[in-house]
């Protein structure tokens, strides 16, 4: 997987190349990062990359020409065409499903905006997709770009120490993750749930699935609207109902009738 990032602040990306899971992925050559600074593609002594907006208003807008020349050089640098994503509050929300789709691509380019944004004509001509990482505004696209990169990289084969980790993340099955605990079994008067200490694999699987459903219903009930259970999950819920761990009424409230 090759990432090409267009940014006025390339030094920020040491945060993703020098630390943790992503650092190991770059060291193992599972991912490659090439940084492109539009200032290198300007033609004036001041290396100007922005100008005042037509119609007035605060702030500056990133110029078309330096960005277009950057993209031309970027596309010519590798025979694989780059799918260019602009990180923008106006973009479609980034979801785990979209991350999984992006992880299948051989090459992703990320445009990190600054100031008041990018000349709309550049977006119309060169951008393949606009993506937002949330309903909030930050100073530039660098942090959202690194969030997207991190999410994609952890899905690359060999990136995680335990491949099952990615499969059990929040959103990987359409649900939020269940609670996790480690030693000691008791701290500040709070206990690890007994079922997790008993080593019964089926009971643990049932507990985790029910906790995922409870947490999702409490915090992100919208996710349940499009939930599609696997056959294994349905079997676990039927077993949980039979054992009295969950009522049929509760399942119906979650929108999961089993019969």
CATH number at residue 13: 3.40.1280.10
Would residue 172 count as lying in a domain? no
Would residue 67 count as lying in a domain? yes
Would residue 56 count as lying in a domain? yes
Would residue 14 count as lying in a domain? yes
Classified as helix, coil or strand, 51 is: strand
Residues 147 and 192 in one domain: no
Known catalytic residue: 179? no
Structure confidence at residue 170 (pLDDT): 65
Structure confidence at residue 105 (pLDDT): 99
Structure confidence at residue 186 (pLDDT): 96
Q: Which two tokens stand for residue 121?
A: 């004509």
- Within 8 A by CB and 6+ apart from 123, the residues are 86, 130
Known catalytic residue: 78? no
Q: For position 219, which CATH number holds?
A: 1.10.1270.20
- Catalytic residue selected from 78, 129, 169, 211: 169
Structure confidence at residue 171 (pLDDT): 74
Annotated binding site for S-adenosyl-L-methionine: 113, 133-138
Would residue 179 count as lying in a domain? no
Residues 37 and 121 in one domain: yes
Domain that holds residue 230: 186-254
Residues 34 and 152 in one domain: yes
Q: Are 120 and 113 in contact (CB under 8 A)?
A: no
pLDDT along the chain (259 residues), means of 10: 99 98 98 99 97 95 98 98 97 97 99 96 98 97 99 97 64 90 96 96 98 97 94 97 97 92
Known catalytic residue: 144? no
Structure confidence at residue 178 (pLDDT): 95
Residues 129 and 206 in one domain: no
Residues 196 and 148 in one domain: no
- Catalytic residue selected from 116, 130, 168, 177: 116
Structure confidence at residue 126 (pLDDT): 99
Known catalytic residue: 185? no
In angstroms, the CA 40 to CA 54 distance is 25
Last residue of a domain, one of 163, 197, 228: 163
Structure confidence at residue 168 (pLDDT): 61
Name the pairing type of β-strands 50-51 and 61-62.
Answer: antiparallel
In angstroms, the CA 196 to CA 50 distance is 57
Residues 26 and 75 in one domain: yes
Would residue 259 count as lying in a domain? no
CA 174 to chain centre: 14
Would residue 19 count as lying in a domain? yes
Nearest Cα to Cα of residue 76 among 34, 105, 39: 34
- Catalytic residue selected from 119, 154, 173, 208: 154
Structure confidence at residue 165 (pLDDT): 64
Q: Are 117 and 62 in contact (CB under 8 A)?
A: yes
Would residue 177 count as lying in a domain? no
Structure confidence at residue 229 (pLDDT): 94
Residues 141 and 218 in one domain: no
**Based on the structure, what is the number of domains in the chain?**
2
Q: What is the pLDDT of residues 212-224, one digit of tens each?
A: 999 999 999 999 9
- Catalytic residue selected from 53, 69, 89, 177: 89
Structure confidence at residue 101 (pLDDT): 98
Q: Are 215 and 221 in contact (CB under 8 A)?
A: no
Annotated binding site: 113, 133-138
């Amino acid at each position: 997987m090759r990432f090409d990032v267009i940014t006025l602040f390339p030094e920020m990306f040491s945060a993703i190349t020098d630390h943790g899971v992503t650092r190991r992925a770059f060291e193992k050559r599972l991912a490659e990062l090439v940084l492109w600074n539009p200032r290198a593609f300007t033609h004036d002594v001041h290396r100007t990359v922005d100008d005042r907006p037509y119609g007035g208003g605060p702030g500056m807008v990133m110029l078309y020409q330096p960005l277009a020349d950057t993209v031309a050089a970027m596309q010519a640098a590798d025979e694989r065409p780059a799918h260019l994503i602009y990180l923008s509050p106006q973009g479609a929300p980034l979801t785990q499903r979209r991350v999984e789709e992006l992880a299948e691509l051989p090459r992703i380019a990320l445009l990190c905006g600054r100031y008041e944004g990018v000349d709309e004509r550049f977006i119309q001509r060169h951008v393949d997709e606009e993506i937002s990482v949330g309903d909030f505004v930050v100073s530039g696209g660098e942090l959202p770009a690194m969030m997207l990169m991190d999410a994609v990289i952890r899905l690359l084969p060999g990136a995680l120490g335990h491949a099952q980790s990615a499969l059990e993340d929040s959103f990987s099955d359409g649900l939020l993750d269940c609670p996790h605990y480690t030693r000691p079994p008791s701290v500040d008067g709070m206990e690890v749930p007994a079922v997790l200490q008993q080593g019964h694999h089926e009971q643990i699987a049932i507990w985790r699935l029910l906790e995922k459903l409870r947490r999702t219903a409490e915090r992100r009930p919208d996710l349940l609207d499009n939930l599609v259970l696997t056959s294994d999950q349905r079997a676990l819920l039927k077993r949980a109902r039979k054992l009295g761990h969950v009522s049929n009424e509760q399942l119906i409230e979650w929108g999961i009738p089993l019969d």
